Amino acid sequence: MKANLLLSAGAASAAIPTVHMPLNLKYGADKKVSTQVKLPYSDNTIEVCYDLGSSDFWMFRPNAIQNWGKNCLSCQGLCNVTVPDAGVYDPSKSTSATKVGPWDELYAYGGGLSKGYRANGVVNDTFTFTNDAGYSTVVPDVQVALAFYLQQRILDPKGECNPVPKYDYSIMGMSPYYRSSNSSIENTAGPAFRHNLLEQGLVENTVQSLWFEKAPPKIEDTWTGSGLQGGIDLSKFTGPLVKVPTVPATDIAYGAVGYYTYQPNLTFVQDGANTVIPVDRSDTVISNQCVIDSGATSDGFAPIDQDLFLNVTGLRVNPKRPYPGQLLSWPAPCDTIPTDGEKAFLQYSFAALDPSAAPIEINMPLRSYARQQDPVDAEIGWCTMNIYLGSCMLGSPFSTRAFFAADDARLELALAKGGVAEQGSGVDHAHVVDRIP
């Protein structure tokens, strides 16, 4: 395993203390950008969602319960299962854990607050974070909330409680830490991993970057990459790193947690032919904002000309999933999607913060969206695409092709063309800077 301990990382780049978080994007219906946390008392690991769209870090404690069966808000259903041991962290087994302290917090996620995780404890411990490329980072004194209950808004009309719905075993929020009297901003509840690093002095500023390496050979293979806390690795993208506007909290319809920019212009490119897909920007509050969210499984756009989008891309709405707000489909097996990313791709064009500068264009090959296979598509030989037409969301697929950088203190965001670093290349500390150039 490739070691990336904090002390060795600091020595390699003494002027810029950073923390390297090894990342994966695995194949599967519930997969998002993630890291693996190795438990301090065993060789077991838990997949942790690395979430730009939230701010807090929690894990399940022993004997935690998942509940479902009703789809109303805060309604307890009839279905209960115990979270399996594979998704549980037990601080009582760790020699490096502090005493568990009191903590009462509800963490809500998803459209319509579809998942609510209740925590009732907090603890500090030393954790090791790894990915499939073999990188390993040890972070001491990490504060984590302990969740004991999850309620999902999933209707079970027959009361059969089968199948058991999927859910995250752990989420590590990577959005900005907020402490504000502005009522339009939701203050961070905590524990917040990034703020934890800052308080410990393991990083010196609230800067971060995220990138993935070159695409793996097969659609179902795992993408590997890195999240760098405290710095920006300038060797992990091609072309310019362009600052883009941030959407003010007053212009965000659904709260201010996370990173928002303005919805990009869209063009579909196939065999060199460009088709512009118009974006309706008449409602600036809802249609113009776009969240960059590594904790989302899909990318999305709205409002656009849906018929035009489907016609030019060749994507379809599955008749068994007959809503444009659901995942779209490639109407053929996945291996028929062009393998050459330059032959068929969506081009996202983001306006630069500097009005005199050229926009930053991120090219998304259609194959980048094939990250799962829904049974309703498999039945008719179609390929599920993690893209929908409902709201603007730049999720996990976007992360595979876009280099992301943020400076929370300066309220700056920047994007570049990613997906170009060699697989398993980690961080090049000789090219790390502490601010967006």
Taking Cα atoms as reference points, which of 109, 112, 111, 118 lies closest to residue 73? 112
The mean per-residue pLDDT over the stretch 230-242 comes to: 98
What lies within 8 Å, CB to CB, of 38 at 6+ separation is 44, 45, 127, 128, 129, 130, 136
Residue 3 has pLDDT above 80, yes or no: no
pLDDT of amino acid 158: 87
Which tens digit of pLDDT belongs to each residue from 194-211? 999 999 999 999 999 999
Residue 258 has pLDDT above 50, yes or no: yes
pLDDT of amino acid 13: 45
pLDDT of amino acid 14: 55
Residue 6 has pLDDT above 70, yes or no: no
Residue 66 CA to residue 60 CA, distance in Å, equals 10
Residue 39 has pLDDT above 90, yes or no: yes
pLDDT of amino acid 8: 35
What 8-state DSSP symbol labels residue 187?
Answer: -
pLDDT of amino acid 11: 38
Which tens digit of pLDDT belongs to each residue from 376-433? 999 999 999 999 998 899 999 999 999 999 999 999 999 999 999 999 999 999 999 9
- pLDDT classification of 62: cutoffs 50, 70, 90: very high
The mean per-residue pLDDT over the stretch 279-300 comes to: 85
pLDDT > 70: what percent of the chain? Answer: 94
Which DSSP helix (H) or strand (E) runs through 308?
Answer: helix 306-313
Residue 178 CA to residue 273 CA, distance in Å, equals 45
Which tens digit of pLDDT belongs to each residue from 360-378? 999 999 999 999 999 999 9
- pLDDT classification of 356: cutoffs 50, 70, 90: very high
Q: What is the mean pLDDT of the chain?
A: 92
Residue 186 has pLDDT above 80, yes or no: no
pLDDT > 90: what percent of the chain? Answer: 81
Taking Cα atoms as reference points, which of 311, 332, 325, 341 lies closest to residue 382? 332
Which tens digit of pLDDT belongs to each residue from 78-121? 999 999 999 999 999 999 999 999 999 999 998 778 999 999 99
Q: Is 10 left (phi over 0), alpha (psi -120 to 50) or beta?
A: alpha
Task: Please give the model's pTM, rounded to 2 decimal places.
Answer: 0.94
CA end-to-end span of the chain: 33
CA 393 vs. chain centroid, Å, equals 11
Are 109 and 115 contacting, i.e. CB atoms less than 8 angstroms apart?
A: yes
Residue 234 has pLDDT above 60, yes or no: yes
